[in-house]
Amino acid sequence: MIRINKRGYDAQGVKPGFNTFGLAPDDDAYETGPKSTTALELREFGEEASSRLPIWGKERGRDEGVEVAATYVMSNTNPTGYPFLGNNSHTGLFIMPDDGDPEGRLLYDPSGHYKPREMGTGDALYGPEVSPEDYLRYHLTGGPNVTVRKFNTTPEQEAEIQERIDDLGGGGVFDCTTNVTKAILGIGPFGEVEKTEWPVALDNQLRSLGKHVGEANDVESLRRLMAKKGRVGANK
């Protein structure tokens, strides 16, 4: 069941009087206040949640490789306007099934202000309303320095990422990269990722590890990237 408890956002998804970092124009960025670690309340996690997960490969052998979903990490490294933050704007994550089933989509935007609709306290969205193109387009309004990296992941790996997201929730004001890192580290192609709270540092890690199977910097290249079918073992 979806329980909505975030209200008061404008048509661009930003709360009136706040910028994309959740701060009023004259806020002291160092005063973040207590961080919320409320668990994701979008829906009850259990058999119903598991039924939404991609199941490719569960009943077929994988010696020759089978089609899988993919996990995408988006890094916004445009200038923030805050000297101590530099170009560390935002980090987000989404999972898209290769078979095009919209019910298997997941978007995680911790500490973010992208609101295609009211998303609940966990800053995650499931199902047909997830639009990676719209998500990327939203972040490109801040500048061109946005990179989406694609990683082939198995259904089991995606289930673990999703369960972690449910446990983590949305986090506090500056927890976007911290929570995305916690959601993926140690899993599949993210096995060597180290904890960080900085979008630039995480994107540098992901690039240097060489586990991604492609990247995109605009909507058209993202569409082409999502159209490519992955194979288990392609980025191990």
pLDDT of 133 > 60? The answer is yes
**0.85 surpassed by pTM:** no
Q: pLDDT value at position 118?
A: 61
Tens digits of per-residue pLDDT, 83-102?
889 999 999 999 998 777 88
State which amino acid sits at residue 136: L
* Straight-line distance from the first to the last Cα atom of the chain, in angstroms, rounded to the nearest whole number: 36
Q: pLDDT value at position 115?
A: 79
Tens digits of per-residue pLDDT, 45-60?
334 444 444 443 333 3
Read off the pLDDT of each residue in 74-87 and give the average, rounded to a whole number.
92
Q: Shortest CA distance to 86 belongs to which of 197, 191, 212, 219? A: 197
Residue 65 tokens, joined: 């490789």
Residue with tokens 């449910």: 166
